[in-house]
């Protein structure tokens, strides 16, 4: 099963299913779900790139006190995402063992599988949304009243058209492209997807050679979405998904860009390489039937100087960096 449950594969080309639950949590509550501090719980896996978008956005925007977070075990069983990292194997807020229970509370037998990120209504225990494409945009716009002081504008109105264009290209060729390559069932399908990944990465490399961030001079949603694929590239996509024309560390521009973001508060301090590597290599048994998790790659370079400051830019615009990671949400220290 792919790491977010939003995909299907087998004897046909890889396809990613649309999110079934697309309700939105908004400032005016027009879908019946108003923004309200403490009412909702964000369920994620640190292994999943789609969920990692929400983890990063939540941290950058300072929503930890307003939107609590549950972290699922990176290893799934036949009921998908489970809370075996918590005492007694239950989420301490929702009181459930499997995320599937929140899905069932919302709609029994709902299609599309059990995916993360997911937002659950704590009082009712029902799933609200698993719309990974819309969720982070709403955190950036609809949740403004609960943002921390100094929070960055991750989706500035005047740049949205350009941001949307860049994100669409990155999604098609990179975010989803690595999956198309990894789960390809014939040589032609694989080669087309793999070529598309690297063709887009080369375009992005040229774009980022002269500017620090993808759109404008500050971090935006576009950077968040590219980062979650780049940070997994050498650890899993290069070998496990056969996207191996070159490694991220072999592209000077993208490697420096990725390190710049990794070293920015809100990015690297949410990344758990152990969860990432164990999930992909042990859950995707069709690709890696032995379940062996590789020892490499060397991760020490993520903390090396990147020299991207010379391009200017202000990571948080006129705002400030987020504060320290809450103790309960700290990830293991980076090791080689």
| pLDDT average, residue stretch 84-101 | 97
| pLDDT average, residue stretch 268-273 | 98
pLDDT above 70 covers a percentage of the chain that reads 94
Asked about 237 being catalytic, the answer comes back as: no
For 5-59, how does the pLDDT look when each residue is reduced to its tens digit (9 = 90+)?
A: 444 444 345 666 666 898 999 999 999 999 999 999 999 999 999 999 999 999 9
Comparing CA positions, the residue from 236, 318, 305 lying closest to residue 271 is 236
| pLDDT average, residue stretch 61-76 | 97
For 170-191, how does the pLDDT look when each residue is reduced to its tens digit (9 = 90+)?
A: 999 999 999 999 999 999 999 9
Instruction: Annotate 151-204 with DSSP letters as a single string.
Output: ---SS-GGGHHHHHHHHHHHIIIIITHHHHHHT-SSHHHHHHHHHHHHHHHHHH
User: Domains of the chain (ranges plus CATH)?
Assistant: 7-146 (3.40.30.10), 157-329 (1.20.1050.10)
Confidence label for 334 from pLDDT (cuts 50, 70 and 90)? confident
Distance of alpha carbon 170 from alpha carbon 176, whole angstroms: 8
Quote the mean pLDDT of the chain. Answer: 94
| pLDDT average, residue stretch 137-150 | 98
The pLDDT assigned to 15 comes to 63
Report pTM.
0.94
For 200-257, how does the pLDDT look when each residue is reduced to its tens digit (9 = 90+)?
A: 999 999 999 999 999 999 999 999 999 999 999 999 999 999 999 999 999 999 999 9
Tokens of 311: 């391009």
pLDDT above 90 covers a percentage of the chain that reads 90
Degrees, nearest 5: CA angle 3-4-8? 85
Determine which one of 9, 48, 194, 280 is catalytic.
Answer: 48
Distance of alpha carbon 32 from alpha carbon 26, whole angstroms: 9
Comparing CA positions, the residue from 121, 126, 132 lying closest to residue 6 is 132
Asked about 280 being catalytic, the answer comes back as: no
pLDDT at 153 over 90: yes
Distance of CA 168 to the CA centre of its chain: 15
Determine which one of 103, 132, 155, 179 is catalytic.
Answer: 179
């Amino acid at each position: 099963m792919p790491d977010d449950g939003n995909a299907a594969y087998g004897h046909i080309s890889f396809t990613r299913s649309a999110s079934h639950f697309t309700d939105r949590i908004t400032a005016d509550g027009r879908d019946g779900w108003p923004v309200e501090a403490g009412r909702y719980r964000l369920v994620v896996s640190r292994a999943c790139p789609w969920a990692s978008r929400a983890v990063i956005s939540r941290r950058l925007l300072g929503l930890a006190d307003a939107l609590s977070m549950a972290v699922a075990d990176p290893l799934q069983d036949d009921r998908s995402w489970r809370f075996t990292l918590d005492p007694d194997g239950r989420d301490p807020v929702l009181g459930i063992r499997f995320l599937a229970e929140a899905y069932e509370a919302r709609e029994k037998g709902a299609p599309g599988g059990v995916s993360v990120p997911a937002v659950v209504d704590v009082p009712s225990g029902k799933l609200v949304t698993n719309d990974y494409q819309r969720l982070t945009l709403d955190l950036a716009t609809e949740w403004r009243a609960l943002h921390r002081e100094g929070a960055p504008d991750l989706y500035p109105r005047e740049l949205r058209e350009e941001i949307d264009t860049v994100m669409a290209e990155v999604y098609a060729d990179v975010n989803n492209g690595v999956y198309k390559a990894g789960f390809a069932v014939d040589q032609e399908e694989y080669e087309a997807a793999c070529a598309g990944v690297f063709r887009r990465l080369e375009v992005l490399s040229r774009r980022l050679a002269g500017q620090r961030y993808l759109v404008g001079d500050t971090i935006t949603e576009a950077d968040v979405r590219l980062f979650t694929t780049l940070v997994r590239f050498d650890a899993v996509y290069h070998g496990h998904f056969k996207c191996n024309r070159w490694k991220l560390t072999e592209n000077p521009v993208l490697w420096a860009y990725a390190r710049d973001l990794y070293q920015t508060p809100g990015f690297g301090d949410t990344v758990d390489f152990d969860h990432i590597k164990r999930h992909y290599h042990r859950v995707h048994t069709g690709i890696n039937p032995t379940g062996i998790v590789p020892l490499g790659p060397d991760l020490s370079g993520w903390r090396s100087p990147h020299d991207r400051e010379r391009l200017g830019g202000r990571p948080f615009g006129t705002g400030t960096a987020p504060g320290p990671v809450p103790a309960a949400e700290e990830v293991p220290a980076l090791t080689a």
